[in-house]
Amino acid sequence: MENDDLQQGIAALKAGDVQKAQALLARVVQKDPRSEQGWLWLGYSLSDHQKRSFCHQKVLALNPHNENARQALKEISPNNQPTPQDNHIRQIPIQPEGMASSEIAAGGKLKPDTDDHSWVIVSIFAAVVFLCILPLLYFGINGQFSSLATILGLSLQATQHPQAAEISSLSPSSTPELITPSLSPTLTPSIIPVTPTPSQSPTPTAYLFKPGDPTATPLGSDITDPNYLAGLNAVKEKDHDEVVRLMSIVIYSNPDLAPPYVKRGQAYWYLDKCEEGLGDIDKALSLNPAFASAWAVHGLLMGCLGDIDQELDDYQKALSLDPSLAFIHHNLGVHYYDLGDYERSLDEYSLATAIDPTEANAWDGMSEALMMLGRLDECIKSATKAIEINPELWLAYADRGLCHLNQNEFAEAVADYKIYVVQPEAGAGSWYNYGLGLDRLGDLNGAVSAYTKALLIDSAFYEAQINRGMVYLALREYNNALKDFNSALLSGDIPLAYAGRGNAYLNLKQYAKAISDLEKSINLYPYDPWAYCTVAQAYLEVARYQDALDAARSSMQLGLSPACQGKVMEVQARSYYALEDYDQALLYIDKSLQAQPNMLGYYYRGIIYQAAGKKEEAIQDLETFLAYVQQKNYKGPEVADAKARLAKLKP
């Protein structure tokens, strides 16, 4: 039957009958929430981007390698923001935040040293060895012997991630960060992967010069000018203004030396003076067209000026002159990462680390590509390698923490983020992820503090508002929760915010408001079992028993999380009791107590037994209830009612 609905839904969609298609395909995923094709085609049938986005993220949660879902998400928006999953604790990964301008963070574009190497043959041999042997070492453990470009696939979402570099200095960068609102601090998160479709590699251009060709000027190793040597030291110290000053003196005295122009052009890149830098590199290349590092810096400057195609051509020229330039492979890794082509990104980072195993930034870049491909264990190992090489590469802690977070290793994630969030470059997303880990570890007050810090950095960060609101719900601070959900809703009609606010209203016994919000949430997103679970409770409180049963049934069909199962079955039991169907009431109250034992459950079962004429069972449950409440000092109206019932049942 399910397969029939799927095929009919697909046929209806292709025939243009969208409403029929939606009804059939919704039935497919209701019956089988793990139906990959059901979610895929349901997404195709929806016009609302948020709903369509959720469906295709659901596909990737079931099968991270589904290219159709990846492409669909990319077409919706290159910075698509997934909507919640159906856990009681929800996550909404959003786009990575931009990092502060730290030059020692992994993930920036690396710049070359200007002294070209003479060991081209050795480097070519190293690259050949890497391409032939490393794939076997790298993937053979898992029995994977495919090519590097075809063995990978999966992940979260990436935005502009300028990860191209100088030998020890980096540009501003952005970190892929897991940013996810939750609905309770007790369940584990579910990661929704979103991967842009990989882009094609640029076609290399033809080159005039090859390794070994004569050069017009020395490459800098024999320059003894004290200002030049002092300038090299300023490069190491990352004092870019001083580099410009000293290299200008050298150029004035020796206008026919190419290396000082490259050093000054490189410093201009750091100072965001890309036009000035380009003039210097053009001059260097006019003096020495075979200067590989000059071509590399030329590529950086072209990228700075927005000419990405020329940037890639320049990198290829540099590699044709000296294939041992690890930083260029690093920069190409950044480029492919930005395009969402994480396979090629990994290939380039792997080449960079094979040529220079001491480059911490490349190891961290590799960890990010591995993370986006869903290879989380390897991501952790690569980030750990980066940290071993450079313990002050703070971004590597965030990357490793994110991989731990994606693996539900919350203690490890919190430990890494605790190191990272105190760094100046840590942004709202990092504090958010730190809060998420604390949330999952049950440190609710710590989570509130971390989410609050995220909001101080970015007051419009509605995901943090939603997540903090959910923690306030868990802390029973319902008025604070309402404030957060109200603030989040200023950003638009967010189903999760309506569901959270409805839950707060329910606990404040404002049932009409609760029902209104929960129905809005369900209308916006009809696949949320938690919203159905909550609205079922609200319907019960206003004596809409059949509506309560229908909502409870929908919540179960959509794959309700364990935290709500006991509550839903209690709602069903009480609704059947009110409708005088005592057999069904007993069936569901038994299930409720098995799923989630609680003192009120014994009270409800006691009164159902009494209504069903089972006197002894009723007495036992009511006495059990009163024993519980005495321990807990509970003083609800059920206590007096239970005592009155026992007085009648026990003459």
Minimum mean pLDDT range among 59-68, 266-275, 500-509: 59-68
Confidence of residue 455 (pLDDT cuts 50, 70, 90): very high
pLDDT of residue 186: 27
Domains and CATH numbers, the chain: 2-76 (1.25.40.10), 212-321 (1.25.40.10)
Going by the DSSP 8-state scheme, the letter that residue 88 receives in this structure is: S
pLDDT of residue 203: 27
Q: At residue 144, does pLDDT exceed 50?
A: no
pLDDT of residue 124: 31
The residue among 71, 64, 19, 22 whose CA lies nearest residue 42 is 22
- In degrees, to the nearest 5, what angle opens at C-alpha 522 toward C-alphas 521 and 526? 135
Q: How far is CA 375 from CA 69, 142, 646, in A?
A: 19, 12, 60
Name residue 174's beta-bridge partners: 98
Could you give the CA distance from residue 297 to residue 266 in angstroms, rounded to a whole number?
6
Most confident residue range from 75-79, 396-400, 631-635, 636-640 = 396-400
Q: How many CB atoms lie within 10 A of CB 190?
A: 17
pLDDT of residue 96: 24
pLDDT of residue 72: 79
pLDDT of residue 590: 95
Q: Which amino acid is at 459?
A: S
Q: How many CB atoms lie within 10 A of CB 61?
A: 21
pLDDT of residue 109: 66
Could you give the CA distance from residue 237 to residue 248 in angstroms, rounded to a whole number?
18
Q: Which amino acid is at 16?
A: G
Share of the chain above pLDDT 70, in %: 76
Could you give the CA distance from residue 481 to residue 458 in angstroms, rounded to a whole number?
19
Confidence of residue 436 (pLDDT cuts 50, 70, 90): very high
Residue 98 phi, psi (nearest 5): -75, 135
pLDDT tens-digit profile of 378-407? 999 999 999 999 999 999 999 999 999 999
Confidence of residue 362 (pLDDT cuts 50, 70, 90): very high
Q: At residue 151, does pLDDT exceed 80?
A: no
Q: At residue 85, does pLDDT exceed 60?
A: no
Once rounded to an integer, what is the mean pLDDT over residues 418-439?
94
Q: Hunting for tokens 């940290």 — which residue is that? A: 387
pLDDT of residue 159: 25
Q: Are 510 and 542 in contact (CB under 8 A)?
A: no
Q: At residue 376, does pLDDT exceed 50?
A: yes
Could you give the CA distance from residue 349 to residue 164 in angstroms, rounded to a whole number?
11
Could you give the CA distance from residue 550 to residue 569 in angstroms, rounded to a whole number?
12
The residue among 79, 78, 77, 85 whose CA lies nearest residue 60 is 85
Name residue 165's beta-bridge partners: 110, 170
Could you give the CA distance from residue 612 to residue 339 in angstroms, rounded to a whole number?
66
Q: Are 242 and 273 in contact (CB under 8 A)?
A: no
pLDDT tens-digit profile of 346-361? 999 998 888 889 889 9
Q: 320 or 144: whose pLDDT is higher?
A: 320
Q: Which amino acid is at 450?
A: A
pLDDT tens-digit profile of 154-199? 222 222 222 323 222 222 222 233 333 333 322 222 222 222 222 2
What mean pLDDT, rounded, does the chain reach?
77
Q: At residue 212, does pLDDT exceed 70?
A: no
364 three-state secondary structure: helix
Q: Which amino acid is at 371?
A: M
End-to-end CA distance of the chain: 56
Going by the DSSP 8-state scheme, the letter that residue 98 receives in this structure is: B
Q: Which amino acid is at 366?
A: M
The residue among 473, 468, 440, 471 whose CA lies nearest residue 454 is 468
Minimum mean pLDDT range among 155-159, 224-228, 443-447: 155-159
Q: Are 352 and 327 in contact (CB under 8 A)?
A: yes
pLDDT of residue 221: 67
Could you give the CA distance from residue 425 to residue 171 in angstroms, rounded to a whole number?
12
Q: At residue 67, does pLDDT exceed 90?
A: no
pLDDT tens-digit profile of 120-133? 222 333 333 333 33
List the structure tokens of 576: 């059947």
List the structure tokens of 208: 């005039």
Q: At residue 95, does pLDDT exceed 90?
A: no
